[in-house]
Amino acid sequence: MSTTTGTTTGTTTGTPSGTTTGTRPSPTGARLDALAAGTDGTPGRAALVGYLPVGFPDVPGSVEAVRTMVAAGVDVVELGMPYSDPLMDGPVIQHAVERALAGGTRVRDTLRAVEQVADAGAPVLVMTYWNLVLRYGVEAWARDLAAAGGAGLITPDLVPDEGADWLAAADEHGLDRVFLVAPSSTPERLASTVAASRGFVYAASTMGVTGVRAEVGSQAERLVEDTRAAGAARVCVGLGVSTPAQAAEVATYADGVIVGSALVRALADAETTTGGLAALEAVTAGLAEGVRAAATARGDR
């Protein structure tokens, strides 16, 4: 994986998705680059990106869960903002956000949660369906997210074509904007999505929604290659990654491994809050070991 490392460390300000047009460098990009570069005695490796929704099992519980997973080895946090119609999410995450909403979780709770986890040691990206941001006001949201210490947004139902106001607001406030690419994306769309992204590009490993799958789609590695060829400095892979072995495999070719449903399931399946946090810690530690094992493999190549 020497090419990956070389690309990401060597061109952080020279390629579109590494360009910093705002007031600060890409918070997520800086973290991914540092991990890829490694330190003396620590080989470069891919990042572990962990998703949890705000408000599950309740707002304080979700804050504690995020801090737990960061302590257990998550490098970048993907904090899900609960939405009534999560059409890119499978059953595990759907049920968790339904419960969060039924428990009264509000949009402002996400900003408070960002504030409370921002110092945990990992950049915090908020994953949100677009209507919530539109309703809040795109510019106001960007301002308040930046003020809360957030790193940026992952937007599953916003393609850059519809996001001109978000592109401008993200530039204004130095926020990362993580757009998705899919195995069905044409070369033209890969290029335009990469150009609009900042921080990293989210490569959907398969055609489908979030969830635990037996194997990571074989299309994922190809998509990462194509996305890099389209100019991306950093590409992380998500959808269907749930085991340490899958994480290790993806970490050999991607800049980050995104895990969601497996972490949410650890919380959801437990009978007690403490049990949930313990299970989450164990699952996270296993995945963290997976990406570190891959680092050795990368170094060997």
Partner 1 sequence: MSQTQQAAVQRAGAEAVGTTDGGTTTPDAPPATQAVPTAPPTAPHGGASTGASRAVTDGQAAPRVPVRATGPLATQQGPYFGEFGGRFVPEALVAALDELDEQYHAALADPTFHAELSRLHRTYTGRPNPVTEVPRFAAHVGEGVRVLLKREDLNHTGSHKINNVLGQALLVKRMGKTRVIAETGAGQHGVATATAAALLDLECVVYMGEEDTRRQALNVARMRLLGAEVVAVQNGSRTLKDAINEALRDWVASVDTTHYLLGTVTGPHPFPEMVRDFHSVIGEEARAQVLDAVGRLPDAVLACVGGGSNAMGIFNAFLDDPEVRLFGFEAGGEGVTSGLHAARFSGGSPGVLQGTRSFVLQDEDGQTRASHSVSAGLDYPSVGPEHAWLHSIGRVDYRPVTDAEAMEAFRLLCRTEGIIPAIESAHALAGAVQVGREVAAARAADGATDETVLLVNLSGRGDKDVATAAAWFDLIDDEEPLHAGEGEQL
Catalytic residues: 78, 89
Closest distance to partner 1 from the beta carbon of 119 (Å): 26
Length of the chain equals 301
Give yes or no for residue 184 binding partner 1 (CB under 8 A): yes
Which listed residue (127, 148, 158, 263) binds partner 1 by CB under 8 A? 158
Give yes or no for residue 88 binding partner 1 (CB under 8 A): yes
User: What is the Cα–Cα distance from 206 to 239, expressed in whole angstroms?
Assistant: 7
Closest distance to partner 1 from the beta carbon of 270 (Å): 22
> One symbol per residue from 27 to 66: x for binding partner 1 (CB under 8 A), - otherwise; what is it?
----------------------------------------
Give yes or no for residue 8 binding partner 1 (CB under 8 A): no
Q: Specify whether the CB–CB gap between 126 and 150 falls below 8 A.
A: yes
Q: How many residues bind partner 1 (CB under 8 A)?
A: 60
Closest distance to partner 1 from the beta carbon of 105 (Å): 9
Cβ atoms < 10 Å from Cβ of 147: 12
> One symbol per residue from 89 to 128: x for binding partner 1 (CB under 8 A), - otherwise; what is it?
-xx--x---x--x----xx---------------------
User: What is the Cα–Cα distance from 235 to 188, expressed in whole angstroms?
Assistant: 17
- Cα–Cα nearest to 70, from 284, 241, 286: 284
H-type alpha helices, the chain: 2-10, 27-37, 59-71, 91-102, 107-117, 130-136, 138-148, 164-173, 187-196, 219-229, 244-251, 261-269, 273-300
Distance of CA 270 to the CA centre of its chain: 24
Residues near partner 1, by CB under 8 A: 16, 21, 83-88, 90-91, 94, 98, 101, 106-107, 130-141, 156-165, 167-169, 171, 179-186, 188-189, 192-193, 195-196, 204, 206-209
